[in-house]
Structure 1
Amino acid sequence: MDSRNFLFCSLDAALVGDLAWQVKREGHDVRYYIEAESDRAIADGFVPKTDDWRAELDWADVVVFDDIWVGSDVGTGELAAELRAEGHAVVGGTPNTDRLEDDRGYATEVFEDHGIDPIPSEVFHDFDAAIDHVRTNPAPYVVKPLGEVQNVKRLLYVGREDDGSDVVDILRAYEKSWGHRMKGFQLQRRVEGVEVAVCGFFDGDGFVEPINFNFEHKKLFPGNIGPSTGEMGTSMFWAGRNRLFEETFGKLEGWLAEEGYVGSIDINCIVNENGIHPLEFTPRFGYPTIVLQEESLESPTGEFLHDLAHGRNPSPEVHGGYQIAVRVVLPPFPFDDEKTYDESSRNAAIVFDTPDGSPPEGVHIEDAKLVDGQWRAAGESGMPLVVTGTGETMADAREQAYDRIDRVLLPNCYYRDDIGERWVDGDGDRLQAWGYLGP
């Protein structure tokens, strides 16, 4: 493929630096715009930057948006739709697909309109009404904040008590501490089973094959303990249009084509012997999921993004086994504590225990920068690296990833050491036994 011009846009937090770096390493011209002042140094030294993304539109062959947020507001879908109408090739959503993530009630309507049965849930804008609902309908619930505050991942709460009493306590606490920022929240019944995400790349007309199936690890500590972080790691594999796909995105393909959606889109589900229960949409790249997807592509990433944005139904070659990604973080992640970050993590040097000091294969940047040849932590979030591994089995992928992490020398870093274990310990067997992974 000839060299192309790629414009990557982070209109809120900087998320897509590694993808931009990969495309640049493949020989394409890249410019990266970051809106958040606190994140401006992320990816410095790895990719060229621009201070005005709109000024680069005529230069760009492909525009890539990394999230649905424009600051504290939803909006990249609207921007992407406007740019497409002007003739630009864009990887990004639409106003309606942005709503799938921002408005959980709307997402539920979309599921139901297309014959997909979501887990029973209800959206509330009043804490007292939600507490009355739990007391009238006692059960374990999941509390999911809506709007901008949903990005504070530790606010997601999974109820443990059968009568919902712990959820009542949590709602009372949230009302006092977060009520001024929460524009609403969803109460969703907790369902037991295997949590798995169905993820497809859509080119404006249909899904690209193969399909990606991934498993998020959201809690901070091994064993799925501690605060929710967004994600500490991902395990995955690629497959065809199996039952998991056909009973979720297979029913939404026409709607997404009408929308003209382009990019990655994900439905996280709970699956058990009784059926597939969708939880939520992610109508954008997932993080660090996109890093692992990029690692497992065996054909050029830039060519794939270019063909996707131009509606050319790409056929990427992917790794045929299993893959895992591990997020390597620094204090005070996942919390905000400027003093701790300044003392322990800001500008931390990242060193690699390799013969020539270069990073081993599978080490990817997240909140990192390159200064005079030295990798350093950047930004304010304490998420400098993602380390990946691949293998013919999930155990092989785990071994490779953690061997690579052993060669990363980063004082004070921490990470989960159990990414992929759920698959090995039985999730894969259960999905196969229930008939979801066949052709």
Structure 2
Amino acid sequence: MKTTTFSPKKFLFVSRWGETLDIAYSTSLEGHKVKMYIEDRSSREIGFGFVKKVQNWNAHVDWADIIIFDYTGFGQQCEDLRASGKFVIGGTRYTDNLELDRDFGQSELKKHGVKTLPYKEFFSFQEAIKYIEQNPNSYVIKPCGETQELKQLLFVGSDDEGLDVIRVLKAYERSWGDDFGTFQLQRKVKGVEISASAFFNGTEFLYPINITFEHKKFFPKELGVSTGEMGSSMFWVNESPIFDATLKKFESTLAKQKFVGHIDINCIVNGKGIYPLEFTSRFGYPQVSIQRAGINEPVGELLYKIATRQKFKINVKKGFQVGAFIVVPPFPYDDKKTFELFSKDAVVVFKKNVKEGVHPFHLKMVNNEWLITGNTGVPVLVTGTGITMKEAQKMMYNRIQNIIINNSYYRTDIGDRWFEDSDKLWSWGLL
């Protein structure tokens, strides 16, 4: 583990579900003092034994040198803390709305001169069904607000007349009724799904920027339900036509908002253009941990420099980084009984005592053993790096073979998309 080249700092991590455990733990191993608060009650055991846990983050604000918020929804608190003179990594009310209010996010893209896909927002399933019947096409169902956190509800239609989307909307109406909230129907377009992201220091974007390919479906070859994430592949670049056509146009707006943190925009691209889908105006998961695998400087030092609004170039590895989640039941579903029966307190066993490239997520540590906790069944992320994608994949899957977790499963094709997608992106002039 690298050690910091500057005096130890005090980091307070304010987390929604404990997703930044890996970053907090790494920061503590570098010699910094770390405290972590988790808002979600059922997730509060996460991190026990790894880092010092606190029950009320507000009580530790004065103690902290840097405060890090790991999710959207804390924008007002971040703004207030910055106004009081604290160093904060986190959102603003504006960037919260970019992610949480899909309609607002799309309108801001148009306002900044970014091409968008046709979409329409609905409050009623019947209105949406009627709209598809009158405008037959292939669509994507995108829940808005808090419902969008249930990733398996996002549905990508394949029927050219939208008949499959109509069937899903009818099923949602039966199971959710009026509790579903607002949602969007967005016109589906064929192409390569890709995201561009960067850290922002309150004034400008920091380079290099990150290009990520997410693998959201449950099974290999993009089969099954959407999970949010099963793994990602990525690389760092100093220039990107996709970044320039999207996020770069928001630089002055983010500076005006005094945003300090990480922001990502997910897109579909093809030979006709670049079409932004949605913002993630915070750390992405597992994106930030895979990014860490490709960053050569200590994570605590990196976070400190970003929070204190320094201008610098991030020291990154050449080549590629990949990461895959190893998950357990009931993932990707929410089933407390199944989790307690099959997964709770199960031990993460290492055949050889080598933990490099293994990132703790929903874990606690008891007597130096890593035990599964939380309630969703996402114990670890495993990463690999290499000059080529195949080298990075080989390192990651070799590391996975060193881990034994009862009833665990993972995708065996993380990174495979690159070999076809890269040819398309080169031909379209987007790499």
The answer, yes or no, to whether TM exceeds 0.5 is yes
Kindly state the Cα deviation for residue 359 of structure 1 after the two structures are TM-superposed: 3.5
Across the aligned residues of Structure 1 and Structure 2, the Cα RMSD in angstroms comes to: 0.9
**Equivalent residue number for residue 222 of structure 2:** 224
Q: Please report the TM-score for the alignment, with normalisation by the length of structure 2.
A: 0.97
Contact kept, 8 Å, 1:304 with 1:314, in 2: the verdict is no
Contact kept, 8 Å, 1:360 with 1:407, in 2: the verdict is no
Q: List aligned pairs for 1:207-218, cutoff 5 A.
A: 207-218=205-216
**Equivalent residue number for residue 14 of structure 2:** 9
Kindly state the Cα deviation for residue 349 of structure 1 after the two structures are TM-superposed: 0.7
Kindly state the Cα deviation for residue 343 of structure 1 after the two structures are TM-superposed: 1.6
**Equivalent residue number for residue 42 of structure 2:** 38
Find out whether 1:135 has 2:139 as its counterpart.
no
Q: List aligned pairs for 1:66-215, cutoff 5 A.
A: 66-68=70-72, 75-215=73-213
Report the residue type matching 1:46 in the other structure: F
Task: State the SS of the aligned residue for 1:369.
Answer: strand
Find out whether 1:284 has 2:282 as its counterpart.
yes
**Equivalent residue number for residue 3 of structure 2:** none
Contact kept, 8 Å, 1:149 with 1:181, in 2: the verdict is no
Contact kept, 8 Å, 1:362 with 1:404, in 2: the verdict is yes
Deviations 1:177-228 (A, max 9, x none): 1233222001001110010000111111110000000011111111111111
Deviations 1:376-417 (A, max 9, x none): 101111000000000001111001000000000111000000
Task: State the SS of the aligned residue for 2:179.
Answer: coil
Find out whether 1:23 has 2:6 as its counterpart.
no
Task: State the SS of the aligned residue for 1:8.
Answer: strand
Pick which of 311-320 and 361-370 moved more: 311-320
Contact kept, 8 Å, 1:146 with 1:183, in 2: the verdict is yes
Task: State the SS of the aligned residue for 1:376.
Answer: strand
Q: List aligned pairs for 1:258-337, cutoff 5 A.
A: 258-337=256-335
Cα distance between partner residues in 1 of 2:142 and 2:238 = 31
Find out whether 1:48 has 2:46 as its counterpart.
no
**Equivalent residue number for residue 406 of structure 1:** 401
Kindly state the Cα deviation for residue 433 of structure 1 after the two structures are TM-superposed: 1.7
Kindly state the Cα deviation for residue 119 of structure 1 after the two structures are TM-superposed: 1.1
**Equivalent residue number for residue 423 of structure 2:** 429
Kindly state the Cα deviation for residue 337 of structure 1 after the two structures are TM-superposed: 1.8
Cα distance between partner residues in 2 of 1:377 and 1:344 = 10
Pick which of 172-181 and 159-168 moved more: 172-181
Contact kept, 8 Å, 1:6 with 1:31, in 2: the verdict is yes
Contact kept, 8 Å, 1:147 with 1:182, in 2: the verdict is no
Kindly state the Cα deviation for residue 314 of structure 1 after the two structures are TM-superposed: 3.1
Q: List aligned pairs for 1:369-384, cutoff 5 A.
A: 369-384=364-379
Runs (4+) of structure 1 moved beyond 6 Å? none
Kindly state the Cα deviation for residue 318 of structure 1 after the two structures are TM-superposed: 0.6
Task: State the SS of the aligned residue for 2:315.
Answer: coil
Q: From 65, 89, 101, give the equivalent of 2:69.
A: 65
Task: State the SS of the aligned residue for 1:41.
Answer: coil
Q: Please report the TM-score for the alignment, with normalisation by the length of structure 1.
A: 0.96
Pick which of 358-367 and 195-204 moved more: 358-367
**Equivalent residue number for residue 252 of structure 1:** 250
Cα distance between partner residues in 1 of 2:99 and 2:18 = 19
Task: State the SS of the aligned residue for 2:356.
Answer: coil
Cα distance between partner residues in 2 of 1:118 and 1:415 = 34
